[in-house]
Amino acid sequence: MAIEELILVRHADAERDAPSRKDIDRALSTLGVSQSEAAADWLIEHQENPVKVLCSPATRARQTLAAFRARVPDLTVVDEPGIYEATPGELISIIDRHRPISSLMVVGHNPGLETLMTLLADGRSTDGRGMPTASIVRLRLPAGKALEPGCAELIDFWWP
């Protein structure tokens, strides 16, 4: 059976506020910029380029992805508005719309990403491992099977 890989990337550290006062507009902090650079370096060293990247429309998520795109400019990136503030169930629906695919990356937010990781890898939706800012999780999924609790194998869990 073919294998699929799902890469979850939490956005890097962001400023507390945006000039617009809207959460979606918060930009990366100075720390976040360095975290996104480190995350991009780690991804390039440990991962073949994903076939497709789904990214939240939030400024901080797009800026986190920009560090990777600067190194791998030919990425196929899809802006997915539903990733912003998504629950694990909503994230599964979004991911399912883009499957089957050999490698898919999702750049988004907590608590959705960390709960999704725990649900897929451990079969639980509570007491997650946590995903610090700019962390990366690689999960192996059996191709052609539904995303359900405990279906994934955790390959890597990295944070700066």
For the chain, what are the domain ranges? 3-14+26-158
Among 84, 78, 95, which Cα is nearest to 152's? Answer: 95
By C-alpha distance, which of 97, 105, 31, 101 is closest to 68? Answer: 105
Q: How far apart are CA 100 and CA 120, in angstroms?
A: 16
Q: Which stretches of the chain drop beneath a pLDDT of 70?
A: 1-3, 127-129
pLDDT at res. 22: 95
- Return the pLDDT at 130: 84
Which CATH number describes the domain made up of 3-14+26-158?
3.40.50.1240
Identify the CA nearest to 121 among candidates 143, 155, 153: 153
